[in-house]
Structure formats: structure tokens, C-alpha cells
Structure 1
Amino acid sequence: MKALIIGPSWVGDMMMSQTLYRMLKAEQPDRVIDVMAPAWCRPLLSRMPEVNQALDMPLSHGALRLGERRRIGSALRGCGYEHAFVLPNSFKSALVPFFADIPQRTGWRGEMRYGLLNDLRKLNKTAFPLMVQRYAALACPADKIRQASDLPELLWPKLEVSRQEKIEAAAQFGLQGERPIIGFCPGAEFGPAKRWPHYHYATLAGELIQRGWQVVIFGSAKDELAGEQIRMTLAGKLRTWCHNLAGKTQLEQAILLLANCDAVVSNDSGLMHIAAALNKPLVALYGPTSPDFTPPLSDKARIIRLISGYHKIRKGNALEGYHQSLIDIKPERVIAELDSLLTPSAEHE
């Protein structure tokens, strides 16, 4: 059996989709799974042992480009795919498997994809409240799975990184081995309303550095300023042990460096989901976005959130655009959660 997955276009969603790949492989170990996704996903997919190969989707997230999708699909005919799983809910995402003439094409109904998908599922969002449950349900016959409680035990995302890769990455970025490493992921895709304030991160960093830790800050180029705000808020001597790598790493390098961390503190972000898949002790900080749909999938994750429900807020209501619910999460609370995660009893739960 050879399967083609049309994968999602966001880091967190891509990480959660690994649960589907793991379940398909567990059901049929000789199944060959190829995933078509944007090229930037390759560092993630290459660390998922269930994935045979990553196929680049050259079209941008919002582009229809019907003729190009027809060309891509036609090129896949004769590759032996028997089953396609379409994870995004858009109409255009179902076109390539249709043009590839793959016999069985499974996905949620989404944008009225009648005809494009011939194993079309109607989603009851209440029955499957988590995104990972919705992905996992596609691995099962539609008549067998009516709600999340019908699902078999979910196999959570799990990225593989070798010891040698970790050593080489730490050496490349000058991370010294005499202090344990805690990763900070202070960025968020939609701006400061989803970010824990930089001054709280700085207070936490100062306390941890005085306890013997070193801090590594992760993020994209647009998070570099936030990382520098954290570092420069520290007293001079403490800055020696705070490394701002936001904007200085590619995704592949960030994965390897997160694998070196002994713990991670993160906003709701793609890097949070990567840290969870690396099985790192993780404190996840939520404000207006909700963990009820896309929580970090790890027994070693602790979620801190002081409000309930989902809030469609892109701008914060406090100084520098921060959201008050994140301001109200104090560094002392985060330290307490880290302490509980890192005690020997917590590690063996």
C-alpha cells in the first residue's frame, strides 16, 4: 500500500499530522507514506521515521493555479498511490490527488469537495474537539469512528534527533556544556497579543541563570528584537549566559538546538509543538488563543492559562501590545511549574 498525504502549511499543524502517519504505519507497517507539503516542512518530515519522502508543493498557501495543480497531479500518475489523505480543508488542496487519479481520496468535507474526494467525511466539531483527533480519525473507517472516544490510543508526534547531531549543533552555536540549557520561544505568528511579555521572560531568565542555567532564545528574524529585549533587560554579567539565536537559525538548526535543551518555555507557537515532539519538559503559555484545540501533545507539558474560551484578538490591550491575560502570568508561576516538571518524581510519572 502506498499513500500520499497532502500536508498542512503551518508548523504546529504539520507536527500534529504526524499522529496520522504513525497510526497508518502501525496499522500497516509496510505502508509507504509520502507527504506533499511546502518545502520548508522538509526538516520536520525528515525526522518523522514514518515518512518515506517529502514532496515539495511549489504553490503558495493561497494560490489556486488550477493548471499547475493539474500538471503536478498528472505527474504523480503511475507512482502507485492507492490512497490519498487530504488534511487541509480547502478546495484547492484536494485537486492534486484528484488529478493524480488516486483510487481512494479521504478527507473532511471542508470547502464542498464533492467529487474531488470519494471518501468524504462530514465533521462534527463537537465530537472531535482536538485537531489531532480529526487527523487521527481519517486513518479509520468512517463507519467505525463517530466520536473521539471511538479512536484507538493516539500516537503523539515524535521527532528523531541523533546524539551526534545534537553535539555538532551545540558546538556550531557555541553552547557550552557545563550549564543545562533552557530554551525560550518568545515569538508568536500573530504578534504581541500572543506573547508573554519580554520583561517576564527576562525576570525568569535572570532567576534561572543565577540557579546555574543558560538560556537560549529561539525564533524567526521577526522575533530577533523580542529576544534582544529579553537579553538586554538582564544585568550585564547575566547576559553572558543568555544567547539570542532568534533569526540566526534555520528550522533544521532550531530543531537540533531544541533537542539540546533540558527544558523549554514557550508561547503558543510552532516551536512549542516541536519542543513537545522532542519530549522536552515544557511550560506553554497561553493568552487569548486556546489550548482546547491545539495543545502541546506531551506528558511533559504544563499549560498555564488564566482565562477561558477563545478570543479573536490580534492586538493586545496593554502597553507594547501585550494581552492582559499573559501579563498576569507571573514568572514565579512559571518557575513553580518548571520545578515540578524537573523533580525526579515528575520525570518518572
Structure 2
Amino acid sequence: MKILVIGPSWIGDMMMSQSLYRTLKSRNPHTVIDVIAPSWCHPLLLRMPEVNESLLLPLEHGVMKLSARWRLGQILRSKHYDRAFVLPGSFKSALIPFFAKIPRRIGWRGEMRYGLLNDMRVLNATAFPLMVQRYIALCYHKSRMNSSRDLPQPLCMPTLNVEDYEKQITLDAFKIHSQRPIIGFCPGAEYSSFKKWPHYHYAQLAESLIRKGYQILLFGSTKDRITGERIFLHLSQEIKQYYYNLSGNTDLTQAVVLLSCCHTVISNDSGLMHIAAALDRPLIALYGPSNPKFTPPLSKKSRIISLESSCFPRKKGRIHEEYHPSLIRITPERVMMEFKLLHHTLGV
């Protein structure tokens, strides 16, 4: 069986999609899985042994470019795929496997994709509350999948491995030599600033952790550089040497390796949070207006803090504030308490 997957465009969703690939392989080890996705997802796909080939989607996110999708479909026809799984819910994401004339094209209904998908599933969101459940359910005939209770247990969870030699090379490259255990901070969020825990809370937590003998590595894109600098300015002068603002200075491959070196990761709801979970790192996930019941970190070593309530609707923030009220209410003291409880539970 040869399968093409139209992969998600976001880092967190791409990590969760590995559960689909692992499930397909568990059902038939000889299945060949190719995934087409934007370039920024490829460092993750290269670490997934289930993926035979990661194919480049040479289109900007959100653009139609019908002729480009048709040409790509014509190129993919020569690969003779038996099935296609279309994971995004958009109309345009279903075009490439249709143009490639892949015999069976599977996906959730999404944006009215009648004809483009010939094995289309109608989603009952209550029956499949988690995104990862929705991905895995596509592996099975739709007559067998009425709810998450029909999924095989345990579910195949995302898993990333990093070799010891990679860790040492990358630590040396960034001149991180201290014997202090590393705490990873992931203060960014791709979709909205309202998913970010306040920088001043991160700074207070960093101060406490450094004084307890840890060092801090801050991860993120160039957009998170200013947040990292604001945290740095709040720290006492004598402890600033144990704080590394790496945002914008690492590529995704380096970030994955350095996250694997972390004693613990403290993160907003973000793609890096899902990577830390797949790396099996102890993780504290901070949720505001996003829903931890839909895309939680898929790890038994994680703790979720969410103070969302009817007073602060999930999809609306106070636009005159920099941070969402529900995240402001999560205090550094609460995160430190969860930090201690997590490691007491894990025995580390």
C-alpha cells in the first residue's frame, strides 16, 4: 500500500499527525507513507521513521494557486499512490490528490469537498473531541468509527528521538556548558498574543528557578525575541548569566535537539509544546483562551494549567490588554507548585 498524506501546515498539528502514520504502520508495516507539507514542517517529518519521504508543498499558506496545485498533482500521478489522507479541512487542500487521480481520497468533510474526496467522513465533534482521535479515526472504515470509544487502545502517540551525539554537538554550538539542569521556556504562540503567558510572569518564574540551581533556555522564532529580552530585563543582574534567549537563533532542528536536553519545559499552547511532549520531556502547559480538551499535550509527563471560565470566553479577549485575563490569572507561584508536584509524581 502506498499512501500520500496532505499534511497540516502548523507545527503542533504536524506533530499530532504522527499518530496517524504510526497507526497506519502498526496495521501494515509494509505501508509506504509520503507526506506533503510546507518546508518548515520537514525537520519534524525527517525524525518520523514512519514517513518514507517528505515532499515539499511549494505554496504559501492560505493561497489557492489552482494551476500550481494542478501541476503538482500531475507530477504526483507518476508515484501511483493507492490512497490519500487529507488532514487539513480546506477545499484547496483536497485538490492535489484529486488532480493526482489517487483512487481513494479520505478526509473529514471540511469546506464542502464533495467530489474531491470520495471517502468523506462527517465529523461529530462530540464523538471525537481530540484532534489526534480525528486523525487516527481516518485509518479505519467509517462504518466502524462512530466515536472515540471505537478507536484501538492505547492510541499511538507522537514520539521523537534525539541521539546523544546530537545533544552534545548542539549544546557546544550554543556554548551551553553549565552543569545546571536546563529549564526550557516557550513563551511564543503562532496564532495569537492571547495565547501567551505574560512576560513578567515568565521573568518571576525564571528568577525563582535560577536561584534554585537551574538555567533557562528560551525558545521561539524571531517574533519572540523581544519577549525574551523583556524577560531578561526583569532578572537580577547576578543571575542573568544563567539565562539564554535563543529565540530567532535556532532552526527547528536545533530547537528539537535542545528541547530534548531540558529537565522540564514550560510552554504556552504552541507547536513547541507538542514537540516537547513528543520528546517525553516533563512539561507544564499554560492554556488561556485555547481549548486544552481539543489539542492537549500528548504525554503522561505533562500537567495542564487552565483557568478559563465563563467570565473570560475562549474566543474573545480584551483587546486593550496585551495578555488574555485567564493567562494573567495563572501566577508564577501556581506554576512553581505544579512544577514541584510534577517532579514529585515522576520521582525526579
User: Does the aligned pair in 2 maintain the 1:191–1:315 contact within 8 Å?
Assistant: no
1:179-238, Cα deviation, whole Å (9 max, x unpaired) = 100000011124432211111111111111111100000011010010111111100111
State the match for 2:146 in structure 1: 146
Counterpart CA distance in 1 for 2:25 and 2:95 is: 25
Matched position secondary structure for 2:93:
helix
Matched position secondary structure for 2:55:
strand
State the match for 1:93 in structure 2: 93
State the match for 2:316 in structure 1: 313
Structure 1 residues 148, 201: closer, same or farther in 2, change over 3 A?
Answer: same
Unmatched 5+ residue regions in structure 1? none
Corresponding letter in the other structure for 1:75: I
User: Does the aligned pair in 1 maintain the 2:4–2:34 contact within 8 Å?
Assistant: yes
State the match for 1:290 in structure 2: 291
Q: TM-score, normalised by structure 1?
A: 0.96
State the match for 1:44 in structure 2: 44
For 1:198-277, what aligned pairs fall within 5 Å after superposition? 198-277=199-278
**Paired positions, count:** 345
Counterpart CA distance in 1 for 2:167 and 2:63 is: 37
User: Does the aligned pair in 1 maintain the 2:317–2:325 contact within 8 Å?
Assistant: no
Are residue 61 (structure 1) and residue 61 (structure 2) matched?
Answer: yes
Matched position secondary structure for 2:142:
coil
Unmatched 5+ residue regions in structure 2? none
User: Does the aligned pair in 2 maintain the 1:209–1:241 contact within 8 Å?
Assistant: yes
Counterpart CA distance in 2 for 1:336 and 1:291 is: 20
Matched position secondary structure for 1:143:
helix
State the match for 1:171 in structure 2: 172
State the match for 1:322 in structure 2: 323
1:229-278, Cα deviation, whole Å (9 max, x unpaired) = 11111001110000000111111111111111110000111111111111
User: Does the aligned pair in 2 maintain the 1:91–1:111 contact within 8 Å?
Assistant: yes
Cα drift, residue 313 of structure 1: 2.9
1:142-196, Cα deviation, whole Å (9 max, x unpaired) = 1011001111121111112111111111111111241100000011124432211
Matched position secondary structure for 2:223:
helix
Cα drift, residue 60 of structure 1: 1.5
Counterpart CA distance in 1 for 2:346 and 2:308 is: 26
State the match for 1:102 in structure 2: 102
State the match for 2:120 in structure 1: 120
Counterpart CA distance in 2 for 1:295 and 1:317 is: 28
State the match for 2:134 in structure 1: 134
Counterpart CA distance in 2 for 1:347 and 1:104 is: 48
Corresponding letter in the other structure for 1:27: R
Structure 1 residues 39, 261: closer, same or farther in 2, change over 3 A?
Answer: same
Corresponding letter in the other structure for 2:187: P
Counterpart CA distance in 2 for 1:250 and 1:242 is: 19
State the match for 1:158 in structure 2: 159
User: Does the aligned pair in 1 maintain the 2:205–2:332 contact within 8 Å?
Assistant: yes
Counterpart CA distance in 2 for 1:77 and 1:260 is: 42
Q: TM-score, normalised by structure 2?
A: 0.96
State the match for 2:305 in structure 1: 304
Cα drift, residue 12 of structure 1: 0.9
Corresponding letter in the other structure for 1:42: H
